[in-house]
Structure 1
Amino acid sequence: MKLKDKVAIVTGSSKGIGEGIARVFHREGAKVVVVCRSAKEGAKMAEELGASRRQAIFIQTDLTIEEQIRRMIDQTVDHFGKLDILVNNAGYHISKNVEETTEAEWKFIQDTNLRSTFLCSKYAIPHLRKTRGNIIHISSMVGVVGQPNAGAYSATKGGQIAMTKGMAIDFAPDGIRVNVICPGWIQTPLVEDWFSQQKDPEAARQYIYAQHPLGRIGTIEECGTVAAFLASEEASFVTGAVIAVDGGVTLGY
């Protein structure tokens, strides 16, 4: 088990990509801190990961509020005694171009996606310095290539990529590695909802599959296995890396 006895915070881990990362980390021996807004969903996930065996805890957190982020980091260290891994996964997306986006929507997306990445990292770093731990940001293919109606979202995802590179340089002397994963189309409830809203859901699905050289979309577990590699000693010489987990869709084939 490549993450045995490591303590990992995974934000937005009650569903989607965050769930996949949390489940793989748990399988690889990590003690997982489930972080999300929903008390019901978060508690359920933590219980499934072994809360009764002290293998997981849930900390309800609104990641747009600085004090709640600081409290979440402190509670993690109080409970497990240390912190080894931070995964900044939580995110929010609206399908609007910049002209259509209100300032309130812009601010909420920035706070949820980018400001939370900054604040979680800021308060985790003093603890990660002690364990020579690592940080993984979950960005998106939209941070690398353009997509219609994703102006605010793409700004935050591009920001996470740029932040990764700067942080990797700044904290390398402390032994802290910082990397970023850019998922493409992944089979999540959000993506399934998108398919169901199309005029011909099956035709839409096949069209999206055809854009991928591998002929399909990814799974949350595939994102989790890449994150587990980056979090482990197997990736001890990897920092500042931008890892596409997208089935080749951004190759523009």
Structure 2
Amino acid sequence: MRRFEGKVALVTGGRSGIGQAIAARLTEEGARVFTAQRGGDDRFEGIAADFTDPAAPAQVVAEVIARAGQLDVLINNAGMMQEARVEEMTLDDWQKNLTVNLTAPFLMIQAALPHLRKTKGSIVNTGSIEGLGSNPGHAAYCASKAGLHGLTRAVAVDHGAEGIRCNAIAPGWIDTELNLDFIDSMPDPDAFRRDIGQIHPVARTGRPEEVAALAAFLAAEESGFITGQVYTVDGGRMAKLSLP
């Protein structure tokens, strides 16, 4: 399929993991893809950006427009996670997590809206199942992802009549480089892989390409009647009750 022929997409955090898989899928389907993150990108058209800087989102969007002349798809994927319970987290760390995970997407959307309005474009935000539930010690991450889910709905409501759609994906455990390195750091990686697989009804963890497939669908015109939704991609993990 070439659903994005002649279209321009911007993927934040597109140099690795889920973001890279989304950038690759959009490229395969014909899009001209820009990625934005710390440092460059030797695979796509990279733009260096530090999303702790509130000026970065507008600068990134302006560079895309200067180089490509349009913007059709915005994928807000860049994020961070810092493990700490509420009592252990400093205000500075709390603010940093919210800045990267919630404020930066807000500012990206704000900067992109005038251009997406012209192209009747689509926004896809990478949320998390931790915007719906919580793992221990993830107070700031959970709060920021829940906020991103809420922002997704608000943008859909406010800008749907302008032809702009906004949806979110809530991935569960996905085999990104970061997660695979985490597994390898465990005392018994094979046992951890077995145990993490068993909490999923599909009996395995997910692949970045499976998240990318949904992102491409939500960004494409064929999903034109879908907006304001948060799609869980977790192998059924959130649907499975613990044993009584």
TM-score of the aligned structures, taking structure 2 as reference length: 0.96
CA distance in structure 1 between the partners assigned to 2:87 and 2:24 by the alignment: 39
- Cα offsets for 1:121-175 (capped at 9, x unmatched): 0000010001010111100010011211110000000000011111100001111
Aligned-pair distance for 1:45?
2.3
C-alpha RMSD over aligned residues: 0.9
Percentage identity across paired residues of the two chains: 39
Q: Which residue of 2 aligns with 1:17?
A: 18
1:32 aligns with 2:33: yes
- Cα offsets for 1:43-84 (capped at 9, x unmatched): x122xxxxxxxxxx2111111212222111011011111000
Aligned-pair distance for 1:102?
1.5
1:135 aligns with 2:133: no
Asked whether the 8 Å contact 1:211–1:249 carries over to 2, the reply is yes
1:104 aligns with 2:92: yes
**For structure 1, which segment, 63-72 or 130-139, has the greater mean C-alpha deviation from structure 2 after superposition?**
63-72
Q: Which residue of 2 aligns with 1:52?
A: none
CA distance in structure 2 between the partners assigned to 1:196 and 1:99 by the alignment: 30
**For structure 1, which segment, 66-75 or 132-141, has the greater mean C-alpha deviation from structure 2 after superposition?**
66-75
CA distance in structure 2 between the partners assigned to 1:13 and 1:110 by the alignment: 19
Asked whether the 8 Å contact 2:201–2:240 carries over to 1, the reply is no
Q: Which residue of 2 aligns with 1:58?
A: 46
Amino acid at match of 1:82: Q
Identify which of 118, 127, 132 aligns with 1:144.
132
Q: How many residues align?
A: 240
Asked whether the 8 Å contact 2:74–2:124 carries over to 1, the reply is yes
Match runs of 1:176-187 below 5 Å = 176-187=164-175
**For structure 1, which segment, 199-208 or 83-92, has the greater mean C-alpha deviation from structure 2 after superposition?**
199-208
Asked whether the 8 Å contact 1:3–1:228 carries over to 2, the reply is no
Asked whether the 8 Å contact 1:164–1:179 carries over to 2, the reply is yes
TM-score of the aligned structures, taking structure 1 as reference length: 0.93
- Cα offsets for 1:193-239 (capped at 9, x unmatched): 22122221111111110011111111111111100000001101000
Which structure 2 residue ranges, 5 or more long, are not aligned? none
Task: Give the match's secondary structure for 2:55.
Answer: helix
Amino acid at match of 1:175: G
Task: Give the match's secondary structure for 1:250.
Answer: helix
- Structure 1 stretches of 4+ moved >3 Å: none
1:215 aligns with 2:203: yes
Aligned-pair distance for 1:117?
0.7
